[in-house]
Amino acid sequence: MSQYEGLLDFTITDEMQEMLEMAHDLCRNEIVPRRAEMDEHEKFPHEIFKKFGEAGLFGIMFEEKYGGLGLSPFLTVLAIEVMSEYCLGVATSAGAVKLGALPIEHGGTEEQKIKYLTPLAKGEKIAAFALTEPGAGSDVPALKTHAVKKGDRYVLNGTKQWITNAGQADIYTVFAITDKAKGPRGISCFIVEKDTKGLSFGKLEQKMGIRCSHTRQVIMEDMEVPEENLVGLKPNVGFIHAIKTLISSRPFIATMGTGLSQGAYKEAVKYARQREQFGKKIINFQAVQHMLADMTTKIEAARLLAYRAAKYSLNNHPESARYSAMAKLMSSEAAVSICNDALQLHGGYGFTKDYPIEKMYRDAKILTIYEGTSQIQKNEIGSYVIKDSATMK
């Protein structure tokens, strides 16, 4: 029997279903009444995160031995999808906690995992992933941030750009060059705590969407980090941690896309059932039905691909990178299309802040940009096309 037998079983147990229903209730009660205000005033969702922590929503993202609930890792993907249905900004910041933890999960020592993952699992602390720079996004080898070993410490200098949760997070996984001569094989990953001397943050970026999710520069000026905070206590393996993290996180972005799309679709159906034109509800017009049919079909197709990518990633399947790229590409582009159509169905009302679809429309675009643009995903998929073509009969 293959080690991947039954990998595409998406069965949700009763225990998982209970957690998801609780997540829906929590989001309806805590996010929906606040999301417009949080968006308008760029207010970070601290109160909501506190509720998430108390309910165990952060706990489902981690193993039991590190303070988590010890449930199916697949539940993390499903929970992030639920959050995204109600507010992509909240889901982005919550997902970034897991993103910041992934390099430690992939390469950290047991001591590092216990020390840093446990408070994240309990919702006591927030994490951030600091890889991107002003001149290096998907081009990881172009990093400029560098770390120099001095005694039992590393001194870091450089600037990270577009960092989700920057300024709010307590724990940062930071990537820096430790051996320039080795190129990408000379990158290391460090765990940096917020109160570290020499660490500061740039201005809050004024974004089009996901405005309650804070994005800032992370600035390091002669910042000293103890040697014990080098992930895995091994230098020059940070590139591997970064690639593993990106492959692991792309299914999360894909499910964020399906979650947002589901939320937009529900708003469109609700409006279509209420709005009357020419003496009948607009949901009875064939043109509207066709738009809704296209929307729900795209959602289900994107969801299945996202779940497949997630299952592959969680089980270290050799095709995980390929399917993570496909899922991220399809789901993010579908979300933009679905939110556009949902707003169109609202007519002029959808263009106002009186309806949540206006915010969803603005939020959707980021899905095609962060964690690798749609074009980067196509490059990744294209590399597999070339590889396949060499053996194609």
Q: Which of 97, 126, 155 is the last residue of a domain?
A: 126
Tally DSSP H helices, then E strands, for the chain: 11, 9
Count up the domains in the chain and report the number.
Answer: 3
Q: Give domain status of residue 7, yes or no.
A: no
Domain of residue 374, CATH code: 1.20.140.10
**227 and 255 co-located in one domain:** no
pLDDT in tens, the chain (393 residues): 466 767 888 989 999 999 999 999 999 999 999 999 999 999 999 999 999 999 999 999 999 999 999 899 999 999 999 999 999 999 999 999 999 999 999 999 999 999 999 999 999 999 999 999 998 877 788 899 999 999 999 999 999 999 999 999 999 999 999 999 999 999 999 999 999 999 999 999 999 999 999 999 999 999 999 999 999 999 999 999 999 998 889 999 999 999 999 999 999 999 999 999 999 999 999 999 999 999 999 999 999 999 999 999 999 899 999 999 999 999 999 999 999 999 999 999 999 999 999 999 999 999 999 989 999 999 999 999 999 888 887
How many whole angstroms separate alpha carbon 253 and alpha carbon 249? 7
**What are the distances in angstroms from CA 199 to CA 92, 166, 171?**
23, 11, 12
**179 and 294 co-located in one domain:** no
**What are the distances in angstroms from CA 381 to CA 121, 194, 326, 390?**
33, 37, 7, 15
**121 and 211 co-located in one domain:** no
- Taking the complete model, does pTM exceed 0.75, yes or no? yes
Give residue 2's pLDDT. 63
**What are the distances in angstroms from CA 268 to CA 82, 280, 340, 344, 348?**
18, 16, 11, 9, 13
Give residue 140's pLDDT. 80
Q: Give domain status of residue 183, yes or no.
A: yes
Q: Give domain status of residue 9, yes or no.
A: no
Q: Give domain status of residue 2, yes or no.
A: no
Q: Give domain status of residue 102, yes or no.
A: yes
Give residue 139's pLDDT. 78
- Beta strand pairing status for 146-150 and 280-281? unpaired
User: 37 is in which domain, residue-wise?
Assistant: 14-126
**216 and 297 co-located in one domain:** no
**163 and 103 co-located in one domain:** no
How many whole angstroms separate alpha carbon 256 and alpha carbon 95? 9
**161 and 235 co-located in one domain:** yes
DSSP H or E run through 161: strand 153-164
**361 and 256 co-located in one domain:** yes
For the question of residue 380 being annotated catalytic, the response is: no
Given 267, 333, 371, 380, the catalytic residue? 371
Domain of residue 136, CATH code: 2.40.110.10
Q: Which of 177, 205, 239 is the last residue of a domain?
A: 239
Tokens, residue 14: 């009763």
**82 and 168 co-located in one domain:** no
Q: Which of 81, 105, 126 is the last residue of a domain?
A: 126
Q: Give domain status of residue 283, yes or no.
A: yes
**354 and 254 co-located in one domain:** yes
Q: Give domain status of residue 280, yes or no.
A: yes
For residue 139, the one-letter residue type is D
**358 and 303 co-located in one domain:** yes
**Exposed, middle or buried, 18 (CB in 10 Å: 0-12/13-18/19+)?**
exposed
**104 and 163 co-located in one domain:** no
Give residue 93's pLDDT. 98
DSSP H or E run through 159: strand 153-164
Domain of residue 44, CATH code: 1.10.540.10
How many whole angstroms separate alpha carbon 134 and alpha carbon 35? 30
**132 and 122 co-located in one domain:** no
Radius of gyration in angstroms for the set of CA atoms belonging to the chain, rounded to a whole number: 21
CB burial of 332-363 (b: ≥16 within 10 Å; e: otherwise) equals bbbbbbbbebbbebbeeebeeeebbbbbbbbb
